[in-house]
């Protein structure tokens, strides 16, 4: 069984349509794939309708959150949520708010670049994002099209990096609030790439323990952004806290070339353990 529990379609910042995503998942030899677009469930129906025989689809989403220490800078972190009720009113409202903050933040970053003479326009970003949530990969692609950088990766290392003067943070959800919102909507929260230090500062083991106490059910242990030491620490934490240990690619199509489908996988026993938790939905088989 090859199980990949974290992928993006063009309903957010991936490049495959949801239908292409499930077809590519099957072609990559996956038996189970989760669709986890940022802050939206807009890709679910198309993915379900296009699901090839033999592929199990887990509907989900990825939420940008923040953890605010009593003193010092907040830390940004991502929660995957699986099998929640997409009609739950509170979670739906929060998804809408997150998409709105992505829009304002994207506009702010584009305005800063335009003011500095960078040859991109907001209309380009709108064309790339369509009706979906705006993400920095859309800005990256506009910068590639304008010839400012050679690749989206180079854009992330430069003009759209969190250290760039053009960067603007999003108003992300408090992580404990999101864990509670997800559980209340019958969802299963899993901490995405918890120890990906190369992305920026990460939270301490104590904070992960507090998240577990608040209702977190799993940790994404195997992820392309985790080195061997990170994986060892994550496995240890998952065991200690009784959390499910997952693995996934964080596939974004051609927006992120280091993450092919199936780059990291979830053990079948761990997938079984995840599904033992009560939730609102079921994988589509
Ligand atoms: P945002 O959520 O708009 O702040 O943008 C971050 C998103 O860009 C996340 O989904 C990341 O997975 C993605 N990302 C991070 N680094 C890269 C990269 N080097 N190339 C493409 N996408 C990236
Ligand atoms: Fe993304
Ligand atoms: Fe993420
Ligand atoms: Zn992701």
Find the 172 Cα to ligand 1 centroid distance in Å.
15
Q: What is the pLDDT of residues 106-132, one digit of tens each?
A: 999 999 999 999 999 999 999 999 989
| Residue 82: per-residue pLDDT | 98
Q: What is the mean pLDDT of residues 269-273?
A: 98
User: Smallest Cα–Cα separation from 33: which of 18, 17, 22?
Assistant: 22
Q: Give dist(CA 190, CA 194) in Å, integer.
A: 9
Do residues 141 and 106 make contact, with C-beta atoms less than 8 angstroms apart? no
Sign of the CA dihedral with 140 first, then 99, 16, and 190 last: positive
| Residue 239: per-residue pLDDT | 97
User: Smallest Cα–Cα separation from 82: which of 252, 270, 208, 264?
Assistant: 270
| Residue 226: per-residue pLDDT | 94
Cβ neighbors of 54 (< 8 A, separation 6 or more) are 26, 31
Q: Which residues line ligand 1 (CB under 6 A)?
A: 13, 38, 64, 135-137, 152-153, 156, 252, 255-256
Name the band, by pLDDT with cuts 50, 70 and 90, for residue 249: very high
Lowest mean pLDDT among 194-198, 202-206, 224-228: 194-198
User: Smallest Cα–Cα separation from 51: which of 12, 24, 28, 29?
Assistant: 24
| Residue 55: per-residue pLDDT | 98
> Measuring from atom 13 of ligand 1, which residue has the nearest CA?
137
> Measuring from atom 3 of ligand 1, which residue has the nearest CA?
135
Residues with CB under 5 A from ligand 2 (ion): 13
Find the 38 Cα to ligand 2 centroid distance in Å.
6
Find the 61 Cα to ligand 4 centroid distance in Å.
9
Kindly state the tokens that stand for 200.
């920026």
Kindly state the tokens that stand for 159.
């003009």
Share of residues in the chain with pLDDT > 90 (%): 93
In ligand 1, the atom with minimum distance to the C-alpha of 135 is: 3
Q: For the chain, which residues make up each domain, given as ranges? A: 3-97+170-275
| Residue 281: per-residue pLDDT | 96
> Measuring from atom 19 of ligand 1, which residue has the nearest CA?
153
The strand pairing partners of 246, in sequence order, are: 220
Do residues 215 and 181 make contact, with C-beta atoms less than 8 angstroms apart? no
Cβ neighbourhood burial of 233 (10 Å; 0-12, 13-18, 19+)? middle
Sign of the CA dihedral with 235 first, then 237, 239, and 241 last: negative
Q: How many residues does the chain have?
A: 285
Q: What is the mean pLDDT of residues 5-14?
A: 96
Q: Read off the pTM.
A: 0.95
The widest CA-to-CA distance across the chain, in whole angstroms, is: 54
Q: Is 39 left (phi over 0), alpha (psi -120 to 50) or beta?
A: left
Q: What is the pLDDT of residues 224-248, one digit of tens each?
A: 999 999 999 999 999 999 999 999 9
| Residue 157: per-residue pLDDT | 95
In ligand 1, the atom with minimum distance to the C-alpha of 157 is: 19
Name the band, by pLDDT with cuts 50, 70 and 90, for residue 189: very high
With both helix axes pointing from N to C terminus, report the angle between 122-129 and 89-115 in degrees, rounded to the nearest 10. 140
In this structure, the strands spanning 188-192 and 32-38 are unpaired
Q: What is the pLDDT of residues 54-74, one digit of tens each?
A: 999 999 999 999 999 888 889
Find the 191 Cα to ligand 3 centroid distance in Å.
9
The class that CATH gives domain 3-97+170-275 is: alpha beta
Q: In this model, does residue 205 exceed pLDDT 90?
A: yes
**DSSP E strands: which ranges in the chain?**
3-4, 32-38, 56-67, 75-82, 173-174, 188-192, 218-222, 244-247
């Amino acid at each position: 069984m090859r199980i990949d529990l974290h992928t993006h379609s063009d309903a957010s910042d991936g490049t495959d349509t949801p239908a292409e995503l499930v077809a590519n998942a099957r072609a990559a030899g996956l038996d189970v794939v989760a669709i986890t677009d940022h802050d939206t469930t807009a890709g679910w129906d198309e993915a379900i309708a296009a699901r090839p025989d033999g592929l199990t689809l887990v509907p989900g989403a990825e939420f940008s959150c923040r953890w605010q220490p009593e003193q010092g800078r907040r830390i940004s972190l991502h929660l995957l949520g699986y099998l929640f009720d997409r009609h739950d009113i509170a979670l739906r409202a929060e998804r809408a708010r997150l998409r709105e903050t992505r829009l304002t933040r994207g506009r702010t970053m584009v305005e800063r670049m335009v003011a500095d003479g960078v040859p991109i326009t907001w209309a380009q970003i709108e064309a790339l994002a369509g009706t979906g949530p705006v993400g920095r990969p859309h800005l990256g692609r506009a910068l590639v099209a304008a010839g400012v950088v050679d690749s989206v990766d180079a854009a992330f290392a430069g003009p759209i990096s969190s250290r760039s003067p053009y960067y603007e943070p999003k108003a992300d959800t408090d992580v404990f609030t999101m864990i509670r919102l997800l559980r209340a909507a019958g969802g299963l929260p899993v901490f995405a790439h918890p120890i990906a230090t190369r992305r920026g500062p990460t939270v301490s083991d104590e904070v992960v323990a507090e998240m577990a106490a608040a209702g977190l059910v799993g940790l994404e242990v195997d992820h392309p952004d985790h080195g061997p030491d990170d994986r060892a620490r994550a496995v240890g934490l998952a065991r200690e806290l009784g959390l499910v240990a997952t693995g996934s690619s964080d596939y974004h199509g051609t927006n992120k070339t280091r993450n092919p489908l199936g780059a990291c996988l979830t053990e079948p026993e761990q997938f079984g353990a995840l599904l033992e938790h009560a939730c609102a939905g079921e994988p589509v088989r």
